[in-house]
């Protein structure tokens, strides 16, 4: 832009911006909104009509993704790796689509449901659509909310026929969970829940810290997660030269800077890195400082 202002003949093939005008109906909507004085603050999540339009568009896209080969749909909210949490309207949109396909089973992964931030609530598909109960399996466990990852206790709740079939498979494969772990699970679920809330509050502080630190790195993109304990950082601006993709960047961070991350390509999100804030604030600061170092080298 500076060279153009100086009168230089510059051909730009760099902008990620369509060179087409706004669609006529959108232009008209902007004019009408201006005429109605719609220039003031709205609710932080956006106006209700916009949110409904987004949900409607999502329904259309989800419907397109379902094919005759589809046997099950997996729902994950809060999400790993983004930390996104679907609101009630979004979940209702999923339910409306799935009601049209009675032969598709639903698997809801609720493992991060207790770890949500900013007053957000993780809403189950069965809360908004109890009519889907007979083909929905909800999976959860003690690993995340109770910090019991090494004890390996999880469970599935669903229709009796499906659970019976799962029991038969487990009986002939891994058998029962550790008996000690089972009694630990009873204590976790029936005992005081204050430790879970205390941990959640600490995770929320760490989330705010890591997001602020990442956003302070020039050209680093980062959305604030609403749940789980991960942030997905956009590192595409730093993929140049010898570091051609996020997998190579993760390798370089580990080998040259001693920082362990997970490449976004592992989650279908190339050009990103997953960073966990399930560690101390001091470690978060050290880790982001090392990431900033390699980012500065690529600048």
Amino acid 13: pLDDT: 64
Say whether both 155 and 58 belong to one domain: yes
| Average pLDDT, integer, range 25-37 | 93
Buried/exposed code over 257-275 (b: 16+ C-beta within 10 A; e: otherwise): eebebbbbeebebebbbbb
Task: Read off the pTM.
Answer: 0.83
Strands (E), the chain: 72-76, 105-109, 136-141, 154-157, 221-222, 230-234, 262-263, 272-276
Say whether both 138 and 248 belong to one domain: no
d(CA 150, CA 193): 20
Amino acid 15: pLDDT: 65
Say whether both 111 and 184 belong to one domain: yes
d(CA 258, CA 41): 45
Amino acid 139: pLDDT: 96
The count of structural domains within the chain is 2
Amino acid 6: pLDDT: 86
Find out whether the peptide bond into 78 is cis, omega within 30 degrees of 0.
yes
Mean pLDDT of the chain: 92
- Does residue 55 form part of some domain? yes
d(CA 292, CA 299): 10
Amino acid 91: pLDDT: 93
DSSP state of 288: H
pLDDT tens sequence across 55-110: 788 788 889 999 999 999 999 999 999 999 999 988 998 999 999 999 999 999 99
Name the least confident of 104-108, 234-238, 295-299.
295-299
d(CA 202, CA 199): 5
- Does residue 2 form part of some domain? no
| Average pLDDT, integer, range 117-140 | 96
Say whether both 184 and 244 belong to one domain: no
- Does residue 68 form part of some domain? yes
d(CA 201, CA 205): 6
pLDDT tens sequence across 178-231: 999 999 999 999 999 999 999 999 999 999 999 999 999 999 999 999 999 999
- Does residue 6 form part of some domain? no
Amino acid 79: pLDDT: 96
Enclosing domain of residue 68:
49-190
| Average pLDDT, integer, range 150-155 | 93
Say whether both 185 and 230 belong to one domain: no
- Does residue 240 form part of some domain? yes
Residue ending a domain, choose from 158, 190, 222: 190
pLDDT over 90, % of the chain: 80
Q: Please say if the pLDDT value at position 36 is more than 90.
A: yes
| Average pLDDT, integer, range 43-53 | 85
- Does residue 77 form part of some domain? yes
Q: Please say if the pLDDT value at position 5 is more than 90.
A: no
Say whether both 184 and 263 belong to one domain: no
Amino acid 52: pLDDT: 83
Say whether both 245 and 222 belong to one domain: yes
Three-state DSSP state, 8 = coil
- 126 or 62, greater pLDDT: 126
Say whether both 87 and 214 belong to one domain: no
Q: Please say if the pLDDT value at position 299 is more than 90.
A: no
- Does residue 9 form part of some domain? no
Say whether both 62 and 166 belong to one domain: yes
Amino acid 288: pLDDT: 97
Whether 78 and 122 have beta carbons less than 8 Å apart is answered as yes
- Does residue 41 form part of some domain? no
Strand order in the sheet with 72-76: 72-76, 105-109, 136-141, 154-157
Say whether both 77 and 141 belong to one domain: yes
Say whether both 180 and 212 belong to one domain: no
Say whether both 54 and 170 belong to one domain: yes
Amino acid 14: pLDDT: 63
CATH number for the domain harbouring residue 263: 3.90.1150.10
Residue ending a domain, choose from 139, 157, 190: 190
107 strand-pairing partners? 74, 137
CATH number for the domain harbouring residue 181: 3.40.640.10
* End-to-end CA gap in the chain: 19
Name the least confident of 49-53, 140-144, 173-177, 281-285.
49-53
Residue ending a domain, choose from 190, 205, 238: 190
Where residue 170 falls among pLDDT bands split at 50, 70, 90?
very high
pLDDT over 70, % of the chain: 98
């Amino acid at each position: 832009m500076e060279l153009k202002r100086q009168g230089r003949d510059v051909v730009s093939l760099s902008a990620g911006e369509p060179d087409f005008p706004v669609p006529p109906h959108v232009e008209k909507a902007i004019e009408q909104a201006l005429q109605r004085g719609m220039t003031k603050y709205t609710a932080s999540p956006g106006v209700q009509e916009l949110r409904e339009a987004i949900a409607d568009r999502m329904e259309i896209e989800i419907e397109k993704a379902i094919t005759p080969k589809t046997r099950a749909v997996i729902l994950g909210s809060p999400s790993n790796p983004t930390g996104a949490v679907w609101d009630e309207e979004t979940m209702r949109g999923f339910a409306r689509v799935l009601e049209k396909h009675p032969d598709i089973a639903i698997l809801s992964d609720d493992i991060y449901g207790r770890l949500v931030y900013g007053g957000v609530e993780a809403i189950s598909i069965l809360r908004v659509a109890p009519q889907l109960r007979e083909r929905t399996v909800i999976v959860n466990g003690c690993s995340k909310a109770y910090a019991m990852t090494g004890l390996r206790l999880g469970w599935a709740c669903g229709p009796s026929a499906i659970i019976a079939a799962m029991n038969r498979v487990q009986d002939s494969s891994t058998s029962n969970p550790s008996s000690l772990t089972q009694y630990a699970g009873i204590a976790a679920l029936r005992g005081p829940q204050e430790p879970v809330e205390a941990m959640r509050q600490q995770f929320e502080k760490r989330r705010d810290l890591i997001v602020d630190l990442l956003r302070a790195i020039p050209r680093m993109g980062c959305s604030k997660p609403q749940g789980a304990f991960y942030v997905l950082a956009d590192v595409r601006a730093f993929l140049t030269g010898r570091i051609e993709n996020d997998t190579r960047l993760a390798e370089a961070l580990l080998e040259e800077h001693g920082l362990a991350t997970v490449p976004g390509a592992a989650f279908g999100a190339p050009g990103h890195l997953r960073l966990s804030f399930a560690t101390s604030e001091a470690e978060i600061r050290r880790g982001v400082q090392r990431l900033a170092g390699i980012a500065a080298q690529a600048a």
